[in-house]
Chains A and B, each alone.
Chain A
Amino acid sequence: KQEVTQIPAALSVPEGENLVLNCSFTDSAIYNLQWFRQDPGKGLTSLLLIQSSQREQTSGRLNASLDKSSGRSTLYIAASQPGDSATYLCAAGGGADGLTFGKGTHLIIQP
C-alpha cells in the first residue's frame, strides 16, 4: 500500500527566501506525482503534475522534481511571498487508482 510522507510538517520563513518542501513515497509504481495547494476551508489547487517518465516540471516560481527510483519529490519555491502561505500537499499514484496524499506541509511566509 502506497504511503506518502511530507517533511517538514510546518515551515515558517521570511518573505523572499527560497525554500524546499520534501515528499517521499514507498511504491515507485506510480503514473504521476502531483503537488497541490490547499487554502483554509477551500478545495485543492493543482500546482504541478509530473508524469512518471518526467524528472521535473516548472511553473513560474515553482519547480518540482521527481526521482522515482528513490521515491522522492521536492517542491522548490523561489522568492517566497506572503501569498504563498498555505498547506502544500504531495500526492502519488494517478490513473484509475486515484492518489495517495501526504499530510501536507503548512507553510507560513512572514511579511
Chain B
Amino acid sequence: AQSVTQPDIHITVSEGASLELRCNYSYGATPYLFWYVQSPGQGLQLLLKYFSGDTLVQGIKGFEAEFKRSQSSFNLRKPSVHWSDAAEYFCAVGAGSSNTGKLIFGQGTTLQVKP
C-alpha cells in the first residue's frame, strides 16, 4: 500500500540557516509527489510538485525538492529560512490508478524558526 513517512515530527532552525525536511514514500509505480505548507489557522498551500522529468524541482517561497528514486525520497530544502516559514509541512504522494486520485499524506513536520 502507498505510504508516506516524514521522520521528523518537529524541527527547529535559526533564521538564516538552511533547512531540509525529509520525506520517504512507498509506491509501486512512478509517484506523483507534493509538498504542502499549512500555517496556523490556514489551509494547505502547494509548495511544489514532481510528476516527471528533472528530479530537482523548484517551488514557491524559495523552496526546492529533489526526487531520488533509489532512496524513495523527496526531501524539501531551503538555503536560508525566514521567520515566516514557521509552519507545518506535509509531504504527499498521489495515489490512484492514474495518479489523479487521492493524496496520501505524511504525518507532517512542524518547523519552528528561532530569531
Are A and B bound to each other? no
Interface residues of B (CB under 8 A from A): none
Interface residues of A (CB under 8 A from B): none
